[in-house]
Amino acid sequence: MGLVRHVVCAMSGGVDSSVAALLLKRRGYNVTGVFMKNWDSLDESGVCSTERDCDDAYRVCQTLDIPFHQVSYVKEYWHDVFSNLLKEYEKGRTPNPDILCNKHIKFNHFHKYAIHTLGADAMATGHYARTSQEDEEVFQQSHTTRPTTLFRDRFEIRNPVKLCKGADLAKDQTFFLSQILQDALRQTLFPLAGLTKEFVKKMAAEAGFHHVLKKKESMGICFIGERNFENFILEYLEPKPGNFVSIEDGTVKGTHKGWFTLTLGQRARIGGQKDAWFVVDKDIVTGDVFVAPTTNHPALFRDTARTDRFHWIASDPPAELVRTQMMECHFRFIHQMALIPCTVTLNMDGSLWISLSQPVRALTPGQFAVLYKGDECLGSGKIIQLGPSEFTLQKGRERLVANRQQNNEPIPDPAG
């Protein structure tokens, strides 16, 4: 009888993690289910959804006859994710807590708990994603000690594990995993890698997990649920009223409770306006939020952005990018948006300039620019600066033409 591998599976009380645990058990592993509590609260109807989810996870573990633990990361979530989120909103950005939660909680604190405290050979989650490793290779990772020196030996042959899209492209969750560390990825199994959501639901039904199948898919902010966002954020940040200002003529259209309650591209609720206006920019010094009439106004479209220091899943940037400072790949900044071809330029400080093949609507500072090469998710960087909008470029061209006409100069042909 060979060695039975011990795998700790993160259990959320949902269908995906329940089926992940079922598959691991069927593969003959020694499975422990662990529920993470990351947020203390009642939902708007006064029910603590965390308690309900924990009970659901426990029932699944009972059905599978596997041990169940629960662990609290409420303090860590507050420090590593939520306080960061509030700071970002105060800077006028729109953060992505789901990406931060995976980076700091699930693939950091929980990973260490699974491997070091519970002594597991690997951890597993119910994400729709894949890595370049077979299960056996994952288990070998726990028995090779990584060098503890600050700098790796330059000649150490490293074969980084790749993060790749899951088979169900409609459900692929690599976007949310784009900030995780190589060390955690090397010790992670994704049992749902080759499955579609439909098949996973079918397996859950056959296994008798009816209580988790009845649940709605959670779509709200990670662990905050589907509450009214403006009310929620105003519980933590002081209202900072300001004006809605037209980007076209500078007229004041109405007032808002704080720029942090609004994100680029969303419809601005402005009393007394019969047409829809959309948020196109913010000035956090004056508190003005700029709006434009129509959902596809040119002020909403941009084709360049700069990130902060980019996080590469492989730890280091791709060789071709280091060699030439430029690389072609694909970009998205919203989960499930269509991938857009782009060219990236590597800056000296590790940040990237990303130039898109076409302008996209509502590129948003604070969101993550996630890059792909084929099926591989290369990593992500937080967008901290935007290039000019189509509207700004249009205005610039009009000014140039007007100046030239005034001075009787020839007008250059933009196509030339």
- The single residue of 9, 61, 164, 222 carrying the catalytic annotation is 222
Please report which helix (H) or strand (E) contains residue 89, including its range. Answer: helix 83-90
Q: How far apart are alpha carbons 386 and 322 in whole angstroms? A: 23
Residue 102 contacts residue 176 (beta carbons within 8 Å): yes
Q: At what angle do helices 197-206 and 15-26 cross, to 10 degrees?
A: 70
Residue holding tokens 């509030």?
86
| Residues in CB range of 383: below 8 A, 6 or more apart | 305, 306, 307, 333, 363, 364, 365, 366, 367, 368, 369
Alpha helices in 93-240 (DSSP H): 97-101, 110-112, 135-141, 182-185, 197-206, 210-213, 229-233
Q: Pseudo-torsion of CA 122, 128, 131, 133, nearest 10°? A: 50
Q: How far apart are alpha carbons 240 and 59 in whole angstroms? A: 46
Q: How far apart are alpha carbons 368 and 175 in whole angstroms? A: 9
Provide the 3-class DSSP secondary structure of residue 7: strand
Residue 240 contacts residue 287 (beta carbons within 8 Å): yes
Please work out, in degrees rounded to the nearest 5, the angle formed at the alpha carbon of residue 261 by the alpha carbons of 364 and 46. 125
Q: How far apart are alpha carbons 170 and 239 in whole angstroms? A: 38
| Distances 50 to 277, 306, 391 between C-alpha atoms, Å | 37, 37, 45
| Distances 299 to 91, 244, 310, 387, 392 between C-alpha atoms, Å | 21, 15, 27, 11, 7
Residue 249 contacts residue 258 (beta carbons within 8 Å): no
- Based on the residue annotation, tell me whether 222 is a catalytic residue of this protein: yes
- Based on the residue annotation, tell me whether 54 is a catalytic residue of this protein: no
- The single residue of 101, 164, 329, 342 carrying the catalytic annotation is 101
Residue holding tokens 């959670």?
218
Residues noted as catalytic? 101, 222
